[in-house]
Structure 1
Amino acid sequence: MTWRPRLVALDIDGTLTHVGSNDISPAVQAVITRVAEHGSKVVLATGRSLIGVTPIAAQVPASFALCSNGAVWWDPAANEIPKRTTFEPGPTIEALRALLPGSVFAVERTGVGNLMLGQFLPGDLWGETIGSTFDEMAATPTPRLVMRWLDHTPAELAFAVKDLELPGIEWSVDHTEPWLTAVPPDVTKGSALDELCAELGISPRDALAIGDGSNDVEMLTWAGLGVAMGQAPATVQAAADEVAPTVLEDGAAQVLDRFFPD
């Protein structure tokens, strides 16, 4: 009997959409709909905040969304947040400001927007954005801190932080923008999926995960079948069981079509 995943975990940016876009192609939408019609769970697993996930969830039949790299759980059908894990962002902001002059920061206000220290680029942040002071941000427990290093490249950021130790958090660096995301300790997409699947009675062996970023590595290695997108960095591809075509080629749809044919 051909294996078919009982749960499909999907990254958003670079997997379902072009980075920063809310547009999912018709081919990808169609096959995700078939996943749900076959009774398998569709889980959006993303670094995006909740407010950035809502326009995506409106286009696909997601059973659940693990936002902010797993720090915020959202049930779209009930529009409820059953779990939200936070950390104190002050020490991380201090460490990064000292290392990366010109960096700007934002802390998530779940379902609302962000407090911002410095000026981000247009379109960087979802929801209502309010300028803040360091003291105000340090006093705001948050599930997600993001940083952009202005006037630098992703490669420059990756090199600058390669030996950096940031205790008390989990953090990842984007490969398309000079962008760092920090979430509470021991929170990753993989750990959140493991906990969710335990609640649903689904084995990791029966899960398929697709992603393209460094924050996807834990879920790709956790899943019974982990698939990296074709444009993913070499380190992400190496962590996966197989590599799909790129997001420009609707690679996620091509993978899912094998298990959920039209």
Structure 2
Amino acid sequence: MSWRPRLVALDIDGTLTPVGSNDISPAVEAAITRATDHGAHVVLCTGRSLIGISEVAAKLPVSYAVCSNGAVWWDPALREVTKRVTFDPGPTIKTLQALLPNAVFAVEQTGVGNLSLGEFLPGDLWGTTTQVTFEEIAVPTSRLVMRWLDHTPAELSFALRELELPGVEWSVDHTEAWLTAVPLDVSKGSALDELSTQLGVTPADALAIGDGSNDVEMLRWAGLGVAMGQAPAHVQAVADEVAPTVLEDGAALVLNRYFPG
């Protein structure tokens, strides 16, 4: 095979692991290890916070981690955050509160956990969660998340169909009634574009695999963008190809084509 990616960008939830899990199958772990053995830069690209990737990243030989949909960069070799972009979540929270009664909110405290306005479901948030008031939650953050309690993803998407949120980039999850907001002009795609330049890799030399709305920019950016088999139709539509599902080790099957054992 003449083409082999020099950079491999991988979503976590729904791509490397079942959603919300830290369990990576042996086939996926082996495929990622072979990619690094062949000299590829493996970059985790996730909506998770930095603290939320710790268990997954510890299992894999990754070159870099782009967290919080591109707002926080982590260098495993240096064991430090090399970039962090923030925004004021206050106006976004107020807008969503008015539109979505029973919504709860959390802002990321990078490397620590979250400040929470309202009670999330068990397992929703990584790290230490501190309950606060609106005044205390409206502080600069890299990532704001919202869950609409007792509602479905379809209900949330319908409620937000005409929503405008100035000053942020936002996406809705397809498996939970969950919204993530990050600073304006920040995405997995924009982060990869900047990071790949630093690594001396062009988009044409990149493979990206993901399954969610927050992966669209990343899949469009990469020379080869692959959507997972369970991804929503609009995500599959922007991809160059569709892999088997996460339960079928779809990411490993794609990687095995370019990095055989």
Deviations 1:203-243 (A, max 9, x none): 00000000000000000000000000000000000000000
Aligned partner of 2:251: which letter?
A
Measure how far apart 1:77 and its partner are.
1.5
Residue 105 of structure 1 corresponds to 105
> How many Å separate the matches in 2 of 1:67 and 1:193?
11
Q: Show CA shifts across 1:87-120 (max 9, x none).
A: 0000000000000000000000000000000000
* Aligned-partner Cα distance in 1 for 2:180–2:210: 16
Alpha-carbon distance in structure 1 between the residues aligned to 2:14 and 2:254: 15
Structure 1 CA distance for aligned equivalents of residues 188 and 86 of structure 2: 15
Report the count of equivalent residues: 261
Q: Cα distance, 1:78 vs. partner?
A: 1.1
The residue aligned with 1:62 is: 62
Alpha-carbon separation, structure 2, partners of 1:42 and 1:188:
18
Q: Note the 1:92-241 alignment, pairs <5 A.
A: 92-138=92-138, 140-241=139-240
Q: Distance between the aligned counterparts of 1:38 and 1:111, measured in 2?
A: 31
Q: Which amino acid aligns with 1:57?
A: A
Match of 2:34 in 1: 34
- Which residue in the other structure is 1:76 paired with? 76
After superposition, the C-alpha distances for 1:6-36 in whole angstroms (9 at most, x for unaligned) are 0000000000000000000000000100000
Which letter does structure 2 place at the counterpart of 1:59?
K
Residues in 2 aligned to 1:232 and 1:46: alpha-carbon distance in whole angstroms: 15
What's the secondary structure of 1:20's corresponding residue? coil
Deviations 1:48-85 (A, max 9, x none): 00000111111110100000000000001211111000
Distance in 1, matches of 2:79 and 2:224, equals 29
Partner of 2:244: 245
SS of 1:142's equivalent in the other structure is: coil
Q: Percent identity?
A: 76
Aligned to 2:257, the other structure's residue is in SS state helix
Gaps of 5+ in 2: none
| Cα distance, 1:169 vs structure 2 | 0.2
Distance in 2 separating the partners of 1:76 and 1:106:
26
Q: Secondary structure at the match of 2:59?
A: coil
**TM-score between the two structures when normalised by the length of structure 2:** 0.99
User: Residue type matched to 2:202 in 1?
Assistant: S
Separation of aligned partners in 1, 2:4 and 2:130: 45
> Unaligned stretches of 5+ in structure 1?
none
Aligned to 2:13: 13
Q: Distance in 2 between matches of 1:50 and 1:4?
A: 29
1:136 alignment partner AA: E
| Distance in structure 1 (CA, Å) of the matches to 2:56 and 2:37 | 18
